[in-house]
Amino acid sequence: MEITLSFTQDQAGGSAGCNGYGGSYSANADGEFSTTDIFNTEMACEEPANVMDLESTYLELFSHATRYSIVDDQLELGGAESSKTLVYTQAGKQVAAASPTIASAPDVTVSPTPEANTPSSEAPAPSPTAPFVDVSPLDAPDLGVIVHWLGDRFEPGGDLAALTLTSVYGPAEPGGGPADSRGELEYSVDPLAADIKLRLMRRADWDTWAARDPASDDHVRILHVFWNSLCAQQEEVELDGGRAVIYSSYQALADPAVKECPDGPFDRFLAHVFIGDTVVLVNAPHFLEPPDMPSFQGAYNSVDGMRAVVLGLQPREPVAEPTPLPIPAASLDDLRSLVLQPADLPGRYGDDGCAPDGECNTGPGTFSSEGGYDDLQMAAGEFLATNVQYEHAGFSSGGTPDLSTEPPRIDSFVLVCVTACDPATILEMGAELLRYYGHADAIEVETAADIGDAARLYETHTLVLGQVATGHAVVWRDGPVVGMVVVGGVTGEQGQQIAIELARSQQGRIQQATGS
């Protein structure tokens, strides 16, 4: 049994004894080390007898390593929660017998390139990604109000940070909010706090609700702290097709026992927007939250913040449900017809990675939210999918294939949406889809033209013969179908072109099956 580990600038991986593994890592000059997004293949090996137990132990220790050191040309990884240390030596050298290792001390090697054996002290920070938010409640036919919102992302500039849409709610359930609220949207600078809440109401419902006796409705009573208090101020803002009122008041006045105006500047702000038959309440709460709530400590809790929001509101166009392409039942029964076949490949390829029963991971399913895939899970809903993996036969037979035209590894994947599944959003999350299937650090490099309805091309990292290698991937959609092709081990424009040509071959199979 041999366990290997090699490093690129920000990726680490190799063979765990049976399966390939990899992921992102970071390290610094103080000896701190950490890993994220660890993935591994899922083959089952029978020899040696305890190989799967050793592999499981190794992956557990590697994924929890927090420190590294290099002693006598050996790399040592360890963690605060374990007394065991992983010891790696350059390929061709034996692990020192006195070194503490896992289980029965399997041979552990690393890349033979000395420079690759030292973790980089600097790794690029991941680019922030906006969470996927289900906005379908805003498209409900019974919503009964024109939605005015700030879009998926709002960037007012100046001293105000960008806001990202984080939550959407439909009409309030009985007891779940102010009567007759038709929807609510939350925007955040920090995902842990809602900086702006937009509540939607119909004008007629608002007029009836606002006229209620404050003694009978605590929400109305609190809003009177802004509407009628001598301690508050108002500012009118003219809008295209309507108007807004910005209110400034004090947190303390929510307590009926407070009878005098507090000292100091205003500390609580909200706005009401009236456009046609729509009323938008900006940060109008059920009750005034404690002053230390992070939601109301930011720059948006100000007159300038309210003014930026009310001027930034735009009507939202309802999104029509996509009309799915008809897919014959025979195609759904055999999704293998929608992925690359050996005849489509540019050379001799061996084991295609199917399970022993020939199922090739085909079937209905949903994405797991574990490992930070909540957004992908929400976007994909329920689907049917299959994937196959090919490795060049020249390696297993000891030959030397022409890597400029024949990639060492080719993956082909297809997903067919069933329910609550949005192919356009899945395509937008192509990098997450690649990471889910073990292809890390995907970076979009250009758009691959003329494939389906829309397509994207990525550079990524994938496992090739147990080592982390550069790869290229194309992700595209065609009606309710999402396709993906990954080639590993061919870099530059040559790798990009191979990925594009293979994606076109797979799209030809999809078109043949669906009639698109």
pLDDT at res. 483 = 93
Q: Decide if 12 contacts 88 (C-beta within 8 A).
A: no
* Distant-in-sequence, close-in-space partners of 502: CB < 8 Å, separation ≥ 6: 340, 344, 345, 346, 410, 412, 474, 485, 487
Q: What pLDDT, on the 0 to 100 scale, is given for residue 476?
A: 93
Max distance between CA atoms of the chain, in angstroms, equals 89
Residue 285: what pLDDT? 60
**70 beta partners:** 75
Please give the average per-residue pLDDT across 236-257, as a whole number. Answer: 88
Q: Taking residues 245-274, what's their average pLDDT? A: 87
In the chain, % of residues over pLDDT 70 = 70
| Tokens read off for 324 | 């799915």
Taking residues 120-142, report their average pLDDT. Answer: 54
141: phi then psi, degrees, rounded to nearest 5: -60, -25
**Strands of 20-27's sheet, edge to edge?**
33-40, 20-27, 11-15, 2-7, 107-110, 85-90, 74-78, 67-71
pLDDT computed for residue 502 by the predictor: 93
pLDDT band, very low/low/confident/very high, at 421 (cuts 50, 70, 90): confident
Percent of the chain whose predicted confidence (pLDDT) is above 90 = 15
Which tens digit of pLDDT belongs to each residue from 291-345? Answer: 555 455 678 889 999 999 999 999 987 765 544 444 555 455 567 788 888 888 8
Whether the predicted pLDDT of 104 surpasses 50: no
pLDDT higher than 80, residue 146? yes
> What's the pLDDT at 405?
75
Is residue 504 scored above 60 in pLDDT?
yes
In total, the chain counts a number of residues equal to 516
Contact (Cβ atoms closer than 8 angstroms) between residue 390 and residue 408: no
Which of 82-91, 254-263, 276-285, 391-400 shows the lowest mean pLDDT across its residues?
391-400
Q: What pLDDT, on a 0 to 100 scale, did the predictor assign at position 321?
A: 54
For the cut 90, the answer to whether the pLDDT of residue 210 exceeds it is no
Residue 353 falls in which region: left (phi positive, over 0), alpha (psi -120 to 50) or beta: left
Average model confidence (pLDDT) for the chain? 75
Residue 154 has pLDDT above 50, yes or no: yes
Highest average pLDDT, of 166-170, 259-263, 449-453, comes from 259-263
pLDDT at 268: 86
Q: What's the pLDDT score for residue 350? A: 60
Q: What is the predicted pLDDT for the residue at 280?
A: 95
Instruction: Please give the average per-residue pLDDT across 78-85, as a whole number.
Output: 71
Q: 377 to each of 35, 139, 454, how far by Cα in Å?
A: 23, 20, 21
Average pLDDT of the segment spanning 263-282: 92
The per-residue DSSP string of 256-303 comes to: TT--SPPSSS--EEEEEEEETTEEEEES--SS---TT-GGGSSTTSSH
Report which of 489, 468, 491, 488 is spatially closest to residue 6, judged by C-alpha positions.
468
- SS3 (DSSP) at 481: strand
pLDDT, tens digit, 9 for 90 and up, residues 333-386: 567 788 888 888 877 776 544 433 334 444 556 666 566 666 677 777 777 888
SS3 469: strand
| Whole-structure pTM value | 0.45
Short-list 511, 339, 361, CA closest to 413: 339
Bridge-based pairing of strands 363-365 and 467-478 is unpaired
d(CA 161, CA 156): 7
Whether residue 85 has pLDDT greater than 60: yes
Q: Tens digit of pLDDT for each residue in 391-419?
A: 776 655 555 666 667 888 888 898 888 77
Residue 103: per-residue pLDDT: 33
199: helix, strand or coil: strand
pLDDT for 455 equals: 92
- Give yes or no for residue 290 having a pLDDT over 90: no
Task: Report which of 265, 262, 298 is spatially closest to residue 283, judged by C-alpha positions.
Answer: 298
